[in-house]
A and B are shown apart, each in its own frame.
Chain A
Amino acid sequence: MLRHLYLILLRLHPVGFRQRFGDEMLSIFEQEQDNFAASHLLLDGLFSLTRQWALRPEFWREVPISHAETPAPEGVPLFVSLDPFHPRYAAVIYGTLLSIALFCSTCFAIRYSWIRILHLHIPQVQFDQPQRTIARSETATPSPSRSVSPIGEKKSTPVSSAVSLQQPTAVQPLATNQPAAQEVGPPSMEVPFNLDKSSRETAAFALPGKFVASVPSPTVNVPLDAYARKRVIDGAISNLKWYYIDPVVAGKMAAALRSHEQAGDDNEATDGKAFAALLTTQLRAVSHDRHIQVNYSQSVIPAHVPGPSLEEIARYQREMDRTNCTLEAVTILPQNVGYLKLNSFPDLQLCQGKVAAAMSSLNQADAIIFDLRENHGGVPGMVAFLASYLFDHPTHLESFYTRYQNSTLQSWTLSPVDENRLAHKPAFVLTSAETFSGGEEFAYDLKMLKRATLVGETTAGGAHMVRRRRIDDHFSIGVPDTGPINPVSNTNWEGIGVTPDVAVEAANALKIAQSLAEKALQK
C-alpha cells in the first residue's frame, strides 16, 4: 500500500527526473523501510515532488541520455545515442512571447526611434510611394500671368520648372477659369508640397493616356444632375472631415458646401469641370487654403491607383533635365557673394547630384543668396538637403503632423556636409508673394533658426501637404492632411505667409540683398 502510494508520488514527478531516478528511488524505498519510518519516506517524496515542480523548471523536460537509461553490465561495449531534442513547453511559450515583444519593439523603434530621426529621408518615409511622379502636361498652356516676371530680371521659367516631385507629386488645379481640358491625378496621389498657386492655375498636369486607361468616359458631355452633384459633395465632405488637417475648418467647409447646395448655388454647374472649379472656390473661400482642390477627369479614375507609369517618370526626368532641376542660376556675384536661384525643390533622388554640384561651385563664396522668388515648392527632403549646407551639425527644421494618422515626422538637415565652407557664412533668402509651399518652408525654417536674412515680400502662405483622394470615377479632391509644426515657433505660415526681415519689392530684393551681404562682409 505504502509502496503503491510512493510509486504514485514518483510518477507525478517531471518526466526527466522520473526517468532518471524513479526506479532507483523506488528500490531505496523498498530497502530503507526498516531504517526510515514509511511516513518519513512519503513526506520526503512529497517534498521532492513539490521541489521538482516548483523550483526546478529547467529539468522538467530533461531526458537522460540513453546509456543512463539502460546501464550496461561492466565490460560490455556501449553505444551512446542522444534522444531527439524537444524544447520545454515553457521555453516554447517564452520564445513566442519574446518573439512577439521583439517584433513589436522593432516596429515601435522603426516608427519612433532616433534612427528614424537621423535617417532624414522624411518624404520617402512619410510618403511611401517613392516612384510617384507626375509629369506636366505637354499641352499645358502657361497662364498670362506667367509671362510677367515678378523680378523684372529674366523671364521666369515655365510653370513646370517650379514643379518638383519627389515621389508623388503634383497636383494640378483646375481653375474656375480654366479653359483647357484637363485630367487629374489619381486619388490618393500624394503631394508633399503643392506647387499650385491660384495665380497660375492654368498649369495642367495630365496623366498619360496609358495611365488614365483606355476606358472611354461615359459621362463626357453628360450634364450633371442634382443627384450626381450631391454624390460628389458627399464624397468631398467625407474626405475633408476624415483627412483634412484642421477638423474645425473641415466642419466649416462641409457646412459651406451644404449651404451652397441647398441654396441652389450649384444648379448652374452642369459641367464636370465647372462644378469642380465651383467647389474649389467654395472650399477656398472658407478655408483660405490654396492647397485644396477638387478636380474633374474626363477619363475614369482607377479605383486602385498604381504608381506612376514609366512614361510619367521619364517625362518628369526629361523636364528636370531640360530645366537643370529648376536651378535657374548659379553664379558668383561681385564681392564674392554666391547666388543660387532655385525655382522648386525637386525630387531628391533625381536632382541631388545637380544641387550638390551647384552648392559645391559656391563653396568658396563669402556669403550666399538663395533666390526663391519663383520657387513654388517641392519635397521636404530637398529643403532639408539644401539647408544642410548652412549648418555644421544636424539641425531640426520642421515636424510634419498628419492628423488622421496622429503621427509626426521630423525633418533634420544632413549637416555637416563634407568639405562645405558655407555653414557659418552670411545667408540671404529672397522671397516674393509667389514663393510658395516648400519654398516658404526653406525661408521660414532659416528665419526661425536665425540662420538667414529674408529679403523681399511676404510669401503666399501655403504650408500644408496634399494627398489626392478619389471621390468617384471622375472627381477627385486634393485634401491637405499634413502640416508643418516648426520646432521654434510651434506653428507655421499657413494662410499668413512668411514675412521677410527686410521688406522690399520682390523686383528689388536681389539688389538689396547684395548690398546687405556686402555690408555684412565689411564688418
Chain B
Amino acid sequence: MKEDFEHFLPLSPATLHILLSLSGEDLHGYGIMQEIARQSQGKYKLGPGTLYDNLQKLIQREWVEELGHRPADDDPRRRYYRLTADGRGVLSAETARLADVVREARARLQKTEVARRRA
C-alpha cells in the first residue's frame, strides 16, 4: 500500500497538517484550522481559502471524505470531514518518509559535531 502513495510524496505542509488534524477525529473546517494551530503551537496558521482548496483536492483523491451528517445542535453551515483509509495510508507513508529524513539528519549532525570537537 505504501508504494501506491509514494508518488504523492512529499506532501505539502498544508496537506500534511490537514491529514494529521483529521487523524484523531472527524472535524469541521474551523475545527481543522484550530487543530492545526494547536499542533504547531500557533506557528502554522492556515487561511480558509488555502484550507478548502486543499480539502477540495483531498476529497477528489478520496483521502478525505465529507460526512453527510453533523450533531443536531451544531451550526448548520458546518460540514464534517473524515480521514479515509487511503488518507491514513498516505499520512503513514509521509510520516515514515519524514522519520527517515529526521534519522538521517540526526546522524549527519552527530558526525559533524564529533568531528568538530576532535578538531
- Residues of chain A from 75 to 105 with CB closer than 8 A to chain B in the complex: 75-76, 78, 80
B78/A27 in contact, CB under 8 A: yes
Cβ contact of A41, chosen from B48, B55, B78, cutoff 8 A = B48
A21/B52 in contact, CB under 8 A: yes
Enumerate chain A residues within 8 angstroms of B55, measured Cβ to Cβ: 21
- A-B contacts at CB below 8 angstroms, number: 94
B69/A71 in contact, CB under 8 A: yes
A25/B52 in contact, CB under 8 A: yes
Enumerate chain B residues within 8 angstroms of A48, measured Cβ to Cβ: 47-50, 52-53
A23-39: CB near B (< 8 Å → 1, else 0) gives: 11111110110011000
Enumerate chain B residues within 8 angstroms of A64, measured Cβ to Cβ: 66
B56/A56 in contact, CB under 8 A: yes
A78/B68 in contact, CB under 8 A: yes
Cβ contact of A36, chosen from B45, B50, B75, B80, cutoff 8 A = B45
- Residues of chain B from 42 to 98 with CB closer than 8 A to chain A in the complex: 45, 47-50, 52-53, 55-56, 60, 66-72, 75-80
- With A24-B78, A74-B72 as contacts: A44 and B50 at CB distance below 8 Å: yes
Nearest to B29 among chain A residues (CB) is A24
- Residues of chain B from 22 to 45 with CB closer than 8 A to chain A in the complex: 28-30, 33, 45
B29/A51 in contact, CB under 8 A: no
Cα distance, A47 to B56, chains bound together (Å): 15
Nearest to B67 among chain A residues (CB) is A71
Cα distance, A49 to B30, chains bound together (Å): 19
Q: Which residue, of A26, A27, A76, has the highest number of chain B Cβ atoms within 10 A? A: A27
B70/A73 in contact, CB under 8 A: yes
The size of the chain B interface, using a CB distance under 8 A, is 27
Decide yes or no whether A40 CB sits under 8 A from chain B.
Answer: yes
- Residues of chain A from 50 to 77 with CB closer than 8 A to chain B in the complex: 51-52, 56, 59, 64, 67-68, 71-76
Nearest to B55 among chain A residues (CB) is A21
- With A36-B45, A40-B47, A41-B48 as contacts: A68 and B53 at CB distance below 8 Å: no
Cα distance, A73 to B72, chains bound together (Å): 5
The size of the chain A interface, using a CB distance under 8 A, is 37
| B15 CB → nearest A CB, Å | 15
- With A23-B77, A24-B78, A36-B45 as contacts: A56 and B53 at CB distance below 8 Å: yes
Enumerate chain A residues within 8 angstroms of B77, measured Cβ to Cβ: 23-24, 26-27
Enumerate chain B residues within 8 angstroms of A31, measured Cβ to Cβ: 30
Cβ contact of A32, chosen from B33, B49, B50, B80, cutoff 8 A = B33
Cα distance, A493 to B38, chains bound together (Å): 93
Cα distance, A35 to B52, chains bound together (Å): 18
Q: Which residue, of A48, A56, A75, A76, has the highest number of chain B Cβ atoms within 10 A? A: A48
Decide yes or no whether A20 CB sits under 8 A from chain B.
Answer: yes
Cβ contact of A24, chosen from B28, B67, B71, B72, cutoff 8 A = B28
B79/A68 in contact, CB under 8 A: yes
- With A24-B77, A26-B77 as contacts: A17 and B52 at CB distance below 8 Å: yes
B45/A27 in contact, CB under 8 A: no
Cβ contact of A71, chosen from B30, B48, B70, cutoff 8 A = B70
Decide yes or no whether A45 CB sits under 8 A from chain B.
Answer: yes
Cα distance, A252 to B48, chains bound together (Å): 83
- With A44-B47, A71-B79 as contacts: A52 and B69 at CB distance below 8 Å: no
Cα distance, A52 to B29, chains bound together (Å): 18
Enumerate chain B residues within 8 angstroms of A76, measured Cβ to Cβ: 69
Cα distance, A47 to B71, chains bound together (Å): 32
| B21 CB → nearest A CB, Å | 14
Cα distance, A251 to B85, chains bound together (Å): 83
Cα distance, A472 to B60, chains bound together (Å): 71
| A63 CB → nearest B CB, Å | 13
Enumerate chain B residues within 8 angstroms of A36, measured Cβ to Cβ: 45, 47
B56/A28 in contact, CB under 8 A: no
A44/B53 in contact, CB under 8 A: no
Mind listing 25 A-B residue pairs with CB under 8 Å? A17-B52, A21-B29, A21-B52, A24-B29, A24-B78, A24-B79, A27-B75, A27-B77, A28-B30, A28-B48, A31-B30, A32-B48, A44-B47, A44-B49, A45-B48, A47-B50, A48-B52, A51-B49, A51-B53, A64-B66, A72-B69, A73-B71, A73-B72, A74-B69, A74-B72
User: Knowing that A45-B48, A47-B49 are A-B contacts, what are 11 other residue pairs whose CB atoms are under 8 Å apart, sorted by A's residue number?
Assistant: A25-B48, A29-B48, A36-B47, A48-B47, A48-B52, A49-B49, A71-B69, A73-B72, A74-B70, A75-B72, A76-B69
Kindly list the 4 A-B residue pairs having the minimum CB-CB distance in the complex, ordered from nearest. A48-B49, A44-B47, A67-B68, A23-B77
